[in-house]
């Protein structure tokens, strides 16, 4: 099974695809969809949609796992992040993917074994679990791989957390 992990953001959206082979996790691809600071919000959303669509078309994941919103310093940031997350979910849903969501705490628990782990701990464990030669960069790509790993480990219980398809 191929799992697309998504770490949504308005300026940088991370993605990572892993494949499960028995108990092994194999990295397929990872990276970020970057938008320019000068871009309007609608242009950012369009670029996120196009980027997620491109990744899906090139690598054919079976499911998508998206990081849930957990904390924002202000309401406007939370709204914009929620909108970016919605765009990513719509892109995955348009391609028929089942979509699952995981809180950052759940992702950290699955990857590191500790829900309050630091970012660097998560990055190092993503590297180790996927047998990568280096810590995945940028951080958003590493986070997306962590979301994919979380789903791969939670698959038996994942049906409970499934979002309804659009």
Q: Is 98 a catalytic residue?
A: no
Active-site annotation holder among 19, 62, 98, 140? 140
Catalytic-residue membership of 7:
yes
Inside any domain, residue 118: yes
Catalytic residue (choose from 19, 39, 67, 68): 67
> pLDDT by residue (tens digit) across 105-133?
999 999 998 888 888 999 999 999 999 99
What CATH number is associated with residue 47?
A: 3.30.420.10
The larger pLDDT score, comparing residue 110 to residue 158, is at 110
- The pLDDT, as a whole number, for residue 163 is 46
| Assigned domain for 30 exists | yes
Residue 37 placed within a domain: yes
- Residue 146 lies inside a defined structural domain of this protein: yes
Q: Give the tens place of pLDDT for each residue, 39-90.
A: 999 999 999 999 999 999 999 999 999 998 766 678 888 888 899 999 999 9
Q: Within a domain: residue 97? A: yes
Inter-residue long-range contacts of 79-87, CB under 8 Å, 24+ positions, other chains counted: 80/10, 80/41, 81/8, 81/9, 81/10, 83/10, 83/41, 83/45, 84/8, 84/9, 84/10, 84/13, 84/44, 84/45, 84/48, 85/8, 87/8, 87/45, 87/48, 87/49, 87/52
- Domain holding 62, by residue range, is 2-161
Residue 166 placed within a domain: no
Is 67 known to be catalytic? Answer: yes
Number of domains in the chain: 1
């Amino acid at each position: 099974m191929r799992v697309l992990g998504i770490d949504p953001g308005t300026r940088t959206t991370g993605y990572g695809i892993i494949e499960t082979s028995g108990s092994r996790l194999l990295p397929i691809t990872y990276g970020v969809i970057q938008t320019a600071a000068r871009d309007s919000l609608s242009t950012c959303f369009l670029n996120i949609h196009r980027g997620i669509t491109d990744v899906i078309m090139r690598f054919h994941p079976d499911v998508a796992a998206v990081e849930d919103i957990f904390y924002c310093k202000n309401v406007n940031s939370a709204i914009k992040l929620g909108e970016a997350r919605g765009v990513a979910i719509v892109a995955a849903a348009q391609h028929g993917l089942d979509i699952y969501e995981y809180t950052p705490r759940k992702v950290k628990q699955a990857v590191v074994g500790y829900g309050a782990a630091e970012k660097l701990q998560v990055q190092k464990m993503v590297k180790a679990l996927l047998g990568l030669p280096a810590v995945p960069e940028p951080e958003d790509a590493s986070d997306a791989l962590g979301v994919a790993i979380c789903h791969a480990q939670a698959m038996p219980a994942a049906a409970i957390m499934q979002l309804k398809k659009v």
